[in-house]
Amino acid sequence: MSRDAAIVWLARRDRAIVAGALAGIVVLAWTYILLGAGTDTTMNMAMGDVMMPMPWTLTTSHVMLVMWIVMMTGMMLPSAAPMILLFATINRKRSATSTPYATGLFALAYLVLWAAFSIAATGAQWGLEHESLLSPALAFVDTSLVGAVFLLAGVYQLTPLKQACLQRCRSPIEFLSRYWQGGALGAFRMGLRHGLFCLGCCWAMMALLFVGGLMNALWIATLALFVLAEKMIPAGPMLGQAGGIALILWGGVTLLTAIAQ
């Protein structure tokens, strides 16, 4: 086997390994989400016929933080897969200067960024529950707040910042050619940068988790599919803007309904 053929074979093998690892992580994450991972029993207690949130303890905080991290992994990792797979291919082709486990470091840094978001989200959840703004299903109970979050997410979909971040997420070749850094630290920094762009693209959509409820697997899956389509299909930017307009209208109607009540 020639050297060039060997490189191609190794690149294909690496892509298969990376793709399999990503698929396995996503499957495990969604299994956790669909099974509820015990959060319904940990976070709620029966008070007669009514389910009431349990008081927050150190254990509760850990459970909810893990839930957020796993949920973000299951929702966001599929849309990052093309970037990670292309990184693996390019890193392998730079065989003379490639760093072992660089792809793992890139993916880990991406997930670290979303883990940081999960810490903030867990804190926000604690504050909302402390103010009795969440139902036992971990959804907003205030219709006005629901409408406001719809409006926030919809308006953000139409902002230049959102579009700039989405463009970076949709263009793996452009991203890697512009921001490539060698070595282990370089791979980690690139993963963080990609995660930052992804967070800038999707944070407002993630706020909608509090609208449908953190225990609502169908709502979680719907948001995840929207994010994936926005980043992957050719008409993704148009889909995102159309979704933004729909959210604005939905939020406006929700707020008017709350006022009328």
Residue 13's pLDDT is what?
A: 66
CA angle 128, 131, 134 (to 5 degrees): 50
Cα gap 60→53, rounded to integer Å: 11
Single-letter amino acid, residue 84: I
Query: In Å, what is the CA distance from 236 to each residue of 28, 163, 167, 228, 231?
Result: 27, 11, 10, 9, 6
Cα gap 51→25, rounded to integer Å: 32
Q: What is the mean pLDDT of each run of 10 residues along the chain (261 residues)?
A: 51 73 94 72 46 71 93 96 92 67 93 96 93 90 94 97 95 93 91 97 96 92 96 94 96 90 78
The distance of Cα 159 from the centroid of its chain, to the nearest Å, equals 19
Phi/psi of residue 234, nearest 5 degrees? -55, -35
**What would you report as the CA-atom Rg of the chain, rounded to the nearest whole angstrom?**
20
Predicted TM-score (pTM) of the model is 0.86
Phi/psi of residue 50, nearest 5 degrees? -115, 135
First to last CA, the chain: 75
3-class secondary structure for the chain? CCHHHHHHHHHHHHHHHHHHHHHHHHHHHHHHHHHHHHHHHHHEEEECCEEEECCCCHHHHHHHHHHHHHHHHHHHHHHHHHHHHHHHHHHHHCCCCCCCCHHHHHHHHHHHHHHHHHHHHHHHHHHHHHCCCECCCCCECCHHHHHHHHHHHHHHHCCHHHHHHHHHHHCHHHHHHHHCCCHHHHHHHHHHHHHHHHHHHHHHHHHCHHHHCCCCHHHHHHHHHHHHHHHHCCCHHHHHHHHHHHHHHHHHHHHHHHHHC
